[in-house]
Amino acid sequence: MSEALRSKQNLDIPRALPGPEDLAWEAARLESARPEEILEWALGVYGERLTLSVSFGNPEGMVLLDMLDRMAGIHGAPRARVFTLDTGFLFEETVRFREEAMRRYNLPLEVMRPRLTLAEQVALYGESLYSCKPDVCCQIRKVEPQKRALEGYGAWVTGVRRDQTPQRADTPVVGWEERFRVAKISPLAAWDAARIEEYVREHDVPLNPLLSMGYRSIGCEPCTRPVAPGEDPRAGRWSGTDKTECGLHFAGGAVRRANP
C-alpha cells in the first residue's frame, strides 16, 4: 500500500492510547504471557494502528507474521498491517522469499524504501559508505524509512529477543520507543532460538533459504556473511567491525561488540 493511500485511512483519528507509564504497568502484567496473548492485547488496544516489521531474513519476524495471520478475523480482530524495509542492498534470495511468503499470508504489506536511490547515495557519499561509515548508511537506508513507516501508528511489533545480544537483555515485552513515538511490542522477548525453531516446525513457517546456507542473522548483502558452527549468530553482521546494531532498536546504531 502506498503512503498516499495509507494517509487516507483512519489512522490519525484521536484515540486514548497507553502512555509510557501505562506501558510499564502492562509490561509487568504481560511478562509471563504467551506471545499470542501479548499480540491479542496489542490488537485490542491499537487495532489498525498496530504494525509489524518483518525483515524476511530472520525467523522471528516470520513467526510473528504467522501468529498475526492466524489471529486475523478471529472474533472480529483487525488485520494488523505489515511493513518491511528494502534497503536496495538486500540479497536476491530475501527479495524472492518476501514475494513468496506474502502469497501465503493474507496481511497487507508495505515495502518502505529510502528516499535516496543507490545511485544518488553513491553520488553523494561514494560507493563504499556501507563499509567506511556503516552507521550513516544504516541511518539513510533503514532508520529514516522506518521513521516514515511508523508515522500515524500507535504501536510497533518487533521480533527482538533478550538472548540475541547483551544490549537486548533487558527488552520489555511492552515499552515506549521515544525516537519513533510509538509503543514497542516484543512478544518473543523471553523466547530463545530453540523455542523459535519449535514454533517453525509446529506450524510449518516458511523461512529465508539463506538460513540453511550458514547465515544465522540476515541483513544487507554487503554487510552479512555466513557464520561458522559455534560462532555467535550475529557475528556475521558487519564482520570485521565492532558495530552490532543498525540503529532500528538502538539510537545511532552505535552499540558495539563486547571485547572477547
Q: Where in the chain are the domains?
A: 18-253
pLDDT single digits (tens) 133-176: 989 999 999 999 999 999 999 999 999 999 988 888 899 999 99
Worst-scoring range by mean pLDDT, 9-13, 36-40, 153-157, 171-175?
Answer: 9-13
Query: What are 69-107's pLDDT values in tens digits?
Result: 999 866 566 678 899 999 999 999 999 999 999 999 988
Q: What's the distance, Cα to Cα, between the start and end of the chain in Å? A: 45
Can you tell me the mean pLDDT for 196-214? Answer: 97
For residue 189, what is its C-alpha cell?
522477548
Of 137, 138, 223, 246, catalytic: 246
**Rounded Cα–Cα distance for residues 114 and 195 (Å):** 34
pTM given for the model: 0.86
Architecture of the CATH domain 18-253: 3-Layer(aba) Sandwich (3.40)
In 3D space, the residue among 208, 156, 215 whose CA is nearest the CA of residue 187 turns out to be: 156
Q: Please, which pLDDT band fits residue 68 given cuts at 50, 70 and 90?
A: very high
Q: How far apart are CA 158 and CA 135, in angstroms?
A: 21
How high does pLDDT run on average in the chain?
87
Mean per-residue pLDDT for 29-33? 97
pLDDT of residue 10: 44
138 tagged catalytic:
no
